[in-house]
A = this chain, B = another copy of it.
């Protein structure tokens, strides 16, 4: 089997080209800012960005002008407030107009599920009485062929060109394990045409095989494996580091105007060659502050059967 490890620079250069649809997923946790920043550094454009919660990573990418379209279900700085860059793009076309395609959370979950399961649609109990279907004609209905004859909402599959998934650990073949908030990373990875896994740790295949129920993504569907410690900062990785909430609060100020954002991007994205330098640039105080204590999982025995 081939070793799929690449540097982030190599992985983005290889798999992210202008005009593709890209899903950097992870709900509040596991958000791969390292990939977003490398996409900005490599000057990609006309991307369709897909994410349930665009969060700061897409706020930064949209301010940097990499996107022409956004597919999402919740636009917010979680626990803080607005995503000012996305708002500027939608409300004022700064730095460029942004096309949007909007769903509810479950609608996005259902779209990824349909994409992963190769279904023509996925049914869900939502949208009736809401203006969302009026704002998005992709939200339709289907009638049940059974007794009830009930009419139910459906959404179409979504199959991103590339999904980028951050995880605690993966082996060099891309077999990947996550714990904590699993979000829709599994569905996003199976739905995508290409998958880049970014891991805090690269482990031996034997570590993965010692807990097969924990494997969320098999190497079978993974194209590249990037080893990038702290690659999800300022978001978090369960058991590895906490969210850097100070940054989420600071961003609410930094992002109030495009100039401030550009200055920040100049210093923290264009101004560093890679994530290792970004991490080195963080104060040690920061890394100390976001370091969690130990909370080990209860032991489990799979049993040796020979």
Contacts and interface: CB of A to CB of B under 8 A. Distances in A.
A148 interface: yes
Contacts of A179: 213, 300, 302
A95 to B, nearest CB: 33
Contact of A305 (B125, B148, B292, B298): B292
User: How many identical chains are in the complex?
Assistant: 2
Given A292-B304, A302-B239, A297 B214 contact: yes
A120 B208 CA distance: 38
B120 A211 contact: no
A294 B301 contact: yes
**A interface secondary structure, majority:** loop
A152 interface: yes
Interface residues of A, number: 49
B140 A121 contact: no
Contacts of A182: 213
Nearest to A156: B146
B140 A145 contact: yes
Contact of A302 (B121, B297, B306): B297
Given A140-B146, A211-B298, A239-B300, 8 more contacts: A168-B300, A210-B297, A238-B303, A242-B303, A293-B303, A294-B304, A295-B304, A296-B299
6 contacts: A119-B123, A179-B300, A210-B296, A211-B297, A211-B298, A293-B303
